[in-house]
Chains A and B, each alone.
Chain A
């Protein structure tokens, strides 16, 4: 995995697991890889991975069954979506607004660009489904 600068690695690993919950790779109530398996997959220290699991556990996104492993909580998807949305609106959207305000870009222009983006994403998704990639 390629890690971004700045954000701690454990938080990026947690993000990655959340992504996999959102995209359906890990279903609710399904077991996720053990800390060591996931560490090997990411090629990072197991303690770093453990911190990611602890963070997700504290947020009730995953839970541990003693002696068996970690599982995705019921309602995890919703939780992840809510958390991500709050972070996005609280942080990223603000710098986005700052930029379009500074550059004087009308919101209509952004809206139409966003619609194009949605269309192209859905076209790609459809194509991938037809090719059997998903």
Chain B
């Protein structure tokens, strides 16, 4: 489990705090979607979890060990794929030889499966790849590292059209109950159907931390142009077929999650949406 315990963080003393008294608990066995506007701190949060930077107050615990210590056992348990990264000018083979020993559960079979899925050959040279290919190669290595936690910062950025679909396939295939994945993204359509949990951060706080199942129990996402339905909507935005509308789920029928609608509603009608989740007759365990 990753416990983010009331952390505060600013890049420099006296500068605006990215997080203030921020708290979250993340459990293995789920794919988390981390959403937030530009500059809301998504990448900062992933770097904090990975121990690359440390909070000024509070702690981040990975299985009860403080990430601040960057102990080998903690670092072995997670892998971060940043949005932008550089790779050494070596062959993939050499890269694996240098890097795999840091990850005790590294799986050569997973690497092969992932490269196959991305239609990359195994004898590639990292320097001679395009940006998208490097991302595919790095994501493949990250999956093969077989760490408990996999933190992916905008993983679909730079991927070509088949690449996005290949990414979803291989991630679902390699996912299991002993792994946790956190995907930070703006490309909500790329990951919408992959998620178990949604995390929305804004202004240094966790605005929403719920499972997709809970969200769909409490909210309905509909496309309609019927005025009676729209009158009950908390938030609506124009779409090709009438309006996309967010409503309280009153009849218990489940609809399919529309992440863009949910996100926009949270930004525009924060209190109304959050009130529904904290209503007393609902259980609100994340």
Binds B, one of A4-12, A88-96, A105-113, A126-134: A4-12
- Which residues of A46-76 are within 8 A (CB) of B? 46-48
> Are B256 and A43 in contact (CB-based, < 8 A)?
no
> Are B172 and A46 in contact (CB-based, < 8 A)?
yes
Interface residues of B, dominant DSSP = mixed
Is A45 in the interface zone, CB < 8 Å from B? yes
Could you say which residues of chain A place their CB within 8 Å of the CB of B168?
43
- Number of B residues with CB within 8 Å of any CB on chain A: 22
Is A39 in the interface zone, CB < 8 Å from B? yes
Binds A, one of B46-54, B69-77, B192-200, B273-281: B192-200
Produce 1/0 per residue, B176-216, CB < 8 A to A. 00000000000000000111100000000000000010001
A49's nearest neighbour on chain B, judged by CB, is B172
Question: Chain A interface: which size bin?
Answer: 20 to 34
> Are B173 and A3 in contact (CB-based, < 8 A)?
no
Is B68 in the interface zone, CB < 8 Å from A? no
Could you say which residues of chain B place their CB within 8 Å of the CB of A40?
169-170, 172-173
> Are B169 and A43 in contact (CB-based, < 8 A)?
yes
Interchain CA distance A12-B254 in the complex, whole Å = 12
Is B175 in the interface zone, CB < 8 Å from A? yes
- Which residues of A17-58 are within 8 A (CB) of B? 36-37, 39-48
Is B107 in the interface zone, CB < 8 Å from A? no
- Which residues of B238-286 are within 8 A (CB) of A? 241, 254-256, 258
A41's nearest neighbour on chain B, judged by CB, is B169
Could you say which residues of chain A place their CB within 8 Å of the CB of B4?
none
Interchain CA distance A5-B225 in the complex, whole Å = 14
Is B112 in the interface zone, CB < 8 Å from A? no
* CB proximity of A45 to chain B, nearest CB, Å: 5
Given A44-B194, A45-B31, answer yes or no on A5-B223 (Cβ-Cβ < 8 Å).
yes
> Are A47 and B196 in contact (CB-based, < 8 A)?
yes
A8's nearest neighbour on chain B, judged by CB, is B254
A43's nearest neighbour on chain B, judged by CB, is B168
| 7 residue pairs bridging A and B, Cβ less than 8 Å apart | A6-B255, A12-B256, A36-B175, A39-B172, A40-B169, A43-B194, A45-B31
Interface residues of A (CB under 8 A from B): 3, 5-9, 11-12, 36-37, 39-48
- What 15 additional pairs, Cβ within 8 angstroms, besides A7-B255, A7-B256? A5-B241, A5-B258, A6-B221, A8-B254, A8-B255, A9-B256, A11-B254, A36-B175, A41-B169, A43-B168, A43-B193, A44-B193, A45-B31, A45-B193, A48-B193
